[in-house]
Amino acid sequence: MKNLLMVLFAGDIVEKDFASLPRGATALEAAKEMKLNKHGFVVIVTAEGKPEGIVTEWDYLSKLVAEVKDPAKVTLGDIMSSDLITVKASDGIDYVAKLMAEKGIRRVLVLREGRVVGIITSRTMLARMNDYVNRVSRQIARFQAPRA
Express each pLDDT in 114-134 by its tens digit: 889 999 998 888 877 777 777
User: How confident is the model over 76-92, as pLDDT tens digits?
Assistant: 999 999 999 999 999 99
Give the E-state strand segments of 61-140 in sequence order. Answer: 86-88, 107-112, 115-121
User: Could you give the domains of the chain?
Assistant: 10-144 (3.10.580.10)
What is the arithmetic mean of pLDDT over 26-36? Answer: 96
Q: Which of 104, 96, 121, 126 is nearest to 40 (CA)?
A: 121
Q: Which of 59, 65, 61, 62 is nearest to 77 (CA)?
A: 59
> What does the alpha-carbon distance between residue 135 and residue 84 come to, in Å, rounded to a whole number?
32
The pTM is what? 0.77
pLDDT at position 94 over 90: no
Q: What is the pLDDT of residue 3?
A: 46
Q: What is the pLDDT of residue 2?
A: 47
Task: Name residue 106's amino acid.
Answer: R
